[in-house]
Amino acid sequence: MSSAVRTRRSRPGRPRHVPAVDDTLSPRDQILDASARLFVGRGFANTSTREIADAVGIRQASLYYHYAGKEEILGELLSRTVRPTLDQIEKIEDIAAESGWAAALYALVMIDSKTLVDAPHNSGLLAICPDVTSLEMFKPYRSTLRDLCAAYERFGRAVASVPYVSGVRLEHEVSIVVRYRAEGDVVSVRDRHVIAAGVLRACGATREEIEIAAAVSWAELLEDE
């Protein structure tokens, strides 16, 4: 603390015509949160920059000080929805090496599902909507999602006592989280364990293998939940 005790009650710049609802969040994050809610609630293409501004409590033009446009907002939203899982995928590869593929696959499901549960306003839904996926800027996210499916497929095939395993199919089972949330339901940790068990079961794992995988992945991830 310097000698300036000045509590930052008034910030630099002209004051808003409506005060911020939650000023613990940066303006950028306020915009992001409002956008997520609107994009998921009414669709990306169907949401105007004016509606976003209204929800935040600023004028439409003021958005452009923080973001270059609607697509840049969407981009940051998608990043935060997809990245967390892939950032942890190295850690999961380690689990595979130490404790086997079943434990690794179980851990992947638990992490991926947590990402989807934590996504603000269920923004994971956006990644399958044509008005989003047809955008040029979506390409990198599409390839990221392909990587994720590829990981599911590798893990699943290593576990499998079953002829064919499709990565897309396994990832789809996890994406039930998005469906539940869209339906208004809350997805618990228990629900996610059920999903993880279902994925392993789809790969032909036995009940015992699944229970071991659950225990190991819990120990390895030092779950905080």
Please pick, from the candidates 29, 51, 147, 191, the single residue that binds DNA as defined by CB under 7 A. 51
Angle at 117 between CA 47 and CA 162, to 5 degrees: 115
CA–CA dist 190, 180 (Å, integer): 14
Asked if 161 touches a second copy (CB under 8 A), the answer is no
Contact (Cβ atoms closer than 8 angstroms) between residue 94 and residue 103? no
CA–CA dist 50, 126 (Å, integer): 20
- Taking phi first (over 0 means left), then psi (-120 to 50 degrees means alpha), and beta for anything else, what does residue 133 get? alpha
Please pick, from the candidates 30, 35, 44, 159, the single residue that binds a second copy as defined by CB under 8 A. 44
62 is in the binding site of which of a second copy, DNA, none (Cβ under 5 to 8 A by kind)? Answer: DNA
Q: To which H or E segment does residue 85 belong?
A: helix 70-87
Please pick, from the candidates 16, 20, 29, 45, the single residue that binds a second copy as defined by CB under 8 A. 45
- Region of 11-19, 38-46, 71-79, 211-219 interacting with a second copy (CB under 8 A): 38-46
What is the binding site for a second copy (CB under 8 A)?
A: 39-46, 125, 128-132, 134, 168-169, 172-173, 175-176, 179-180, 182-183, 198, 201-202
What is the binding site for DNA (CB under 7 A)?
A: 11-18, 20, 27, 47-51, 53, 57-62, 64-66, 68-70
